[in-house]
């Protein structure tokens, strides 16, 4: 996703002359093509995220379209008040991009984990929370955020995630993308869990369960039509995320369902625990530890159907 983002921002820099990249002292080589093509529109803001976010707000207030980029916890909770007051309060078109979200940097320790960012950012008025599922969605998300022109948080994984979409799907912030049809269960997959969701669906299919899989890339605003349909037609509605259950996408669906008075007994939220994770190894190992693998997910869904 990281490389897809760098490629997308370089390309979109051509069609959006007001796009300005601000980076928090990372991705130096990654953005070389952008710097080569748009030298006056790339700024390394150093290890100073509060200032970087304020600078972005100042640029946006002057008609430019800034993107802030650094490792997720530093670009979200570190500078949360700047996002809240400088960006969201005046409703400015700043795009906050966090790289290494969820457990992407599991091995780096809890300082670099980001299991709370969705929960925290979705509470901010005017903010849009977008979690692309694969490299294809990264480009589409960035393009649509530029169209939207409102405060937008884009939650990236790391590099090397599998491409799920063989061809670019229609992508609109706030509208989920169905990637597999099915009649018994729907898995609403958030961000980088999509490949795992599809594997879980395949496993369940072999047990005779028909599973729809949706890339629910936008956690705020939620897709009302998608959720209405899911709770009306399916026996189980799963929300799958590499994020804490507290306040995450599943929690957002729970809030939605409570207000809409749907049958919330159908809801199964799968995510991370309410504790700091330590000694969890690689992302793959960390996911195994938390039960975020198809081998764990498929049986949980199956037991809900019994």
Interacting residue ranges for another protein, rule: CB under 8 A: 20, 40-41, 43, 45-46, 48, 50-64, 66, 81-82, 85-86, 89-90
Q: What DSSP element (H or E) covers 188?
A: strand 185-189
> Smallest gap, in angstroms, from Cβ of residue 82 to another protein?
7
> Smallest gap, in angstroms, from Cβ of residue 59 to another protein?
4
> Smallest gap, in angstroms, from Cβ of residue 161 to another protein?
32
User: How far is it, in rounded angstroms, from Cα 151 to Cα 49?
Assistant: 16
User: How far is it, in rounded angstroms, from Cα 66 to Cα 185?
Assistant: 40
> Smallest gap, in angstroms, from Cβ of residue 15 to another protein?
17
User: How far is it, in rounded angstroms, from Cα 82 to Cα 209?
Assistant: 47
Residue whose CB is less far from another protein, 40 or 278: 40
> Smallest gap, in angstroms, from Cβ of residue 153 to another protein?
18
Residue whose CB is less far from another protein, 61 or 264: 61
Closest to 292 measured CA to CA, from 222, 243, 236: 243
Task: State the Cα angle at 136 between 134 and 138, rounded to 5°.
Answer: 70
Decide if 288 contacts 281 (C-beta within 8 A): no
> Smallest gap, in angstroms, from Cβ of residue 148 to another protein?
19
Residue whose CB is less far from another protein, 40 or 303: 40
Residue whose CB is less far from another protein, 55 or 252: 55
Residue whose CB is less far from another protein, 26 or 302: 26
Decide if 237 contacts 213 (C-beta within 8 A): no
Residue whose CB is less far from another protein, 75 or 196: 75
Residue whose CB is less far from another protein, 64 or 288: 64
3-state secondary structure of 208: coil
3-state secondary structure of 206: helix
> Smallest gap, in angstroms, from Cβ of residue 192 to another protein?
31
Give the Cβ contact number of residue 110 at 10 Å. Answer: 14
Residue whose CB is less far from another protein, 126 or 293: 126
DSSP string, 18-78: TEEEEESS--TTTTHHHHHH-GGGEEE--S-HHHHHHHHHHHHHTT-EEEEEEEHHHHTTT
What sign does the CA torsion over 117, 122, 127, 130 have? positive
DSSP class of residue 264? G
> Smallest gap, in angstroms, from Cβ of residue 58 to another protein?
2
């Amino acid at each position: 996703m990281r490389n897809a983002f760098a490629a997308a921002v370089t390309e979109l820099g051509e069609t959006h002359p007001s796009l300005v990249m601000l980076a928090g002292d990372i991705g130096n080589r990654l953005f070389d093509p952008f710097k080569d093509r748009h030298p006056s529109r790339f700024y390394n803001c150093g290890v100073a995220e509060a200032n970087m976010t304020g600078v972005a707000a100042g640029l946006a207030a002057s008609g430019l379209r800034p993107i802030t980029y650094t490792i997720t916890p530093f670009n979200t909770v570190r500078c949360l008040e700047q996002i809240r007051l400088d960006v969201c309060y005046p409703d400015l078109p700043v795009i906050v991009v966090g790289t290494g979200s969820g457990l992407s940097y599991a091995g780096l320790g809890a300082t670099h984990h980001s299991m709370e960012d969705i929960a925290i950012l979705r509470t901010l008025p005017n903010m849009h929370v977008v979690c692309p599922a694969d490299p294809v969605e990264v480009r589409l998300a960035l393009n649509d955020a530029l169209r939207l022109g409102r405060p937008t948080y884009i939650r990236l994984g790391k590099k090397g995630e599998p491409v799920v979409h063989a061809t670019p799907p229609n992508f609109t912030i706030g509208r989920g993308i169905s990637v597999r049809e099915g009649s018994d269960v729907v898995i609403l997959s958030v961000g980088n869990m999509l490949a795992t969701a599809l594997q879980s669906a395949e496993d369940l299919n072999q047990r005779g369960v028909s599973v729809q899989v949706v890339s629910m890339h936008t956690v705020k605003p939620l897709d009302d039509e998608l959720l209405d349909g899911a709770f009306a037609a399916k026996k189980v509605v799963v929300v799958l995320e590499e994020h804490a259950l507290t306040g995450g996408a599943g929690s957002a669906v729970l809030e939605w369902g409570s207000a809409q008075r749907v049958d919330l007994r159908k809801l199964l939220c799968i995510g991370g625990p309410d504790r700091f994770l330590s000694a969890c190894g690689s992302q793959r190992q960390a996911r195994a530890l938390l039960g975020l693998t198809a081998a764990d997910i498929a049986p949980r869904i199956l037991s809900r159907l019994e």
